[in-house]
Amino acid sequence: MTTTAGPSARIPFYRDVRVLKWVFQVGVFAVVAAVLYWLWGNYRVNTESSGIPTSFDFLGQPTNFDIPGADFSPQERVQNAYVIGLLNTIRVSVVGIVLATILGILIGIGRLSSNWVVSKLSTVYVEMVRNLPLLVILTFVVLGLVLQAFPRIEDAWTPFGWLVFSNRGMGLPWYQEVSGLSLLVLFAFGIGGWWALARWRHAVSDRTGAPARSGLYGGTFLVISVVTGWLVLGGRIDLPTVDGPRVTGGIGVDPSFFAVLVALVVYTASHIAEIVRGSIQAIPKGQGEAASALALSGFQRMWNVILPQAMRIAIPPLGNQYLNLIKNSSLAAGFAYFDITNVTQITVGNGSPAVPAFTLALMFYVALSLITSVFVNIANRRFKLVER
């Protein structure tokens, strides 16, 4: 009996797993590349035949539109409008992320509260809001809250003369610039003092064992030094007032910014609350019991024992919510807020070519999301359990 498959019998290449593995990889790549190449070719041919420009030259053209609330004239270039749009997207995203996180953590803790009313209210909030589409929430906030529930400018609500509420805009008190440089110097002085105080407190803490509380000491010093310095230099608080058809003075909050912010915060907070609740429940019960056994108060137990461990679990899914919030802010485009999407739509409506204009918007969103991811990853690394 001779064996049929001798070592000398060569496997044909089309049955060789090593070859086939490569063929498949190359094949998949080729299909994807071919489809993209085909679409690209069509795009080129079609834009060329109908004379649509495909370059980014439109960025240098005048915009021909105005941006309310910004120092902007219709003669400025499209690229400047993009910058304002990008800044507005960042502004609503950053403020939204901070507020949504705070609200989300409060509601997440509230759901686990032993207080029946608090826990039921939190549950109702989460179950209501989480099951609504964001666009519906936003439309409701714009039509119901901002337009109807806020007073008209003629009878604007001005509590204590410090705030202005109307459906044309809100005004908050703001500091009056004394001089950019002097404020910067004050801040530098304050932070230097913080650093020195922190060193001193840590030394005291090392020697006596008393809590360092360097943040408390340093922060207080920073605030006091900046505020007194600013007042001494002649700084005054700029109060908002109603000036005919508009709110002037202080810092103005555009009604559409307010609406978008409220909708984003309310919506995202419901998701964050669930993440926080899940993360807290993932902490072993013994941790809370141990904290109670050490006679820590309810707040101390949550703040010093449970939350630090829960946040470790919560950070990666929180990062996802932050990315969602940034991307969802594009819904603002439908409600007169000049975010990057709105600027792109308007400039396209005024004659800029659609494909390059939206390519630019697309790249901005990708960049923003990647930058956010980097921050989330840094936070994740800092909070991760250090294993030795």
Partner 1 sequence: MLETKRALIGLLSVMMLLVAACTSTEGESETTAPATGETVTTGNGGSESTGSMLETVLENDMIRCGTRDALPGFAVLQDDGSHVGFDSDFCRVIAAAVLGDAEKVEHVDLETADRFTALQSGQIDVLVRNTTWTASRDGGEGATFLTVTYYDGQAMMVAADSPYQSVSDMAGSVVCVTKGTTTEGNAAGESARLGLDWEVRPFDDTDLLQEAFLAGQCDGWSSDSSQLVGLRSAYPDGADALRILPEVFSKEPLAPAVLDGDTEWAQVVNWAIMATIQAEEFGITQANVDEMLNSEDTRIRSFLGAEYTDSDGNVTVTDPGLGLPTDFAYQVVKQVGNYGEIFERHLAPLGLERGVNALWVDGGLLYVPPYR
Q: Which residues in this chain contact partner 1 in the complex, by CB under 8 A?
A: 14-15, 20, 23-24, 27, 30-31, 34-35, 37-39, 41-43, 45-53, 58, 61, 64-66, 68-69, 73-75, 142-143, 147-148, 152-154, 167-168, 243-246, 255-256, 333-336, 342, 345-346, 348-354
Question: At its nearest, how many Å lie between partner 1 and the CB of residue 365?
Answer: 18
In the complex with partner 1, which residue's Cβ is closer, 229 or 252? 252
Which 8-state DSSP code applies to residue 11? P
Question: At its nearest, how many Å lie between partner 1 and the CB of residue 37?
Answer: 6
Which pair of tokens denotes residue 345? 């739509």
In the complex with partner 1, which residue's Cβ is closer, 39 or 233? 39
In the complex with partner 1, which residue's Cβ is closer, 333 or 360? 333
Which 8-state DSSP code applies to residue 14? G
Question: At its nearest, how many Å lie between partner 1 and the CB of residue 24?
Answer: 7
Which pair of tokens denotes residue 292? 């109670």
HSE-CB for 147 with a 13 A CA cutoff: 9
CB atoms < 10 A from the CB of 235, how many? 19
CA dihedral (37, 34, 370, 272) positive or negative: positive
In the complex with partner 1, which residue's Cβ is closer, 13 or 162? 13
* Cα(351)–Cα(215) distance, integer angstroms: 53
Question: At its nearest, how many Å lie between partner 1 and the CB of residue 150?
Answer: 8
Spatial strand order of the sheet with 169-172 comes to 164-166, 169-172, 251-253
Contacts of 353 (CB under 8 A, 6+ apart): 52, 53, 54, 58
DSSP letter string over 288-322? HHHHHHTT--HHHIIIIIIHHHHHHHHHHHHHHHH
In the complex with partner 1, which residue's Cβ is closer, 84 or 226? 84
Question: At its nearest, how many Å lie between partner 1 and the CB of residue 246?
Answer: 6
In the complex with partner 1, which residue's Cβ is closer, 119 or 139? 139
Is the separation of the CB atoms in 335 and 142 below 8 Å? yes
Question: At its nearest, how many Å lie between partner 1 and the CB of residue 3?
Answer: 21
Is the separation of the CB atoms in 242 and 76 below 8 Å? no
In the complex with partner 1, which residue's Cβ is closer, 251 or 290? 251
* Cα(316)–Cα(242) distance, integer angstroms: 45
Give the residue among 274, 369, 268, 271 at the shortest CA–CA distance from 323.
369
Give the residue among 121, 89, 95 at the shortest CA–CA distance from 108.
121
In the complex with partner 1, which residue's Cβ is closer, 83 or 204? 83
Question: At its nearest, how many Å lie between partner 1 and the CB of residue 32?
Answer: 10
Question: At its nearest, how many Å lie between partner 1 and the CB of residue 148?
Answer: 6
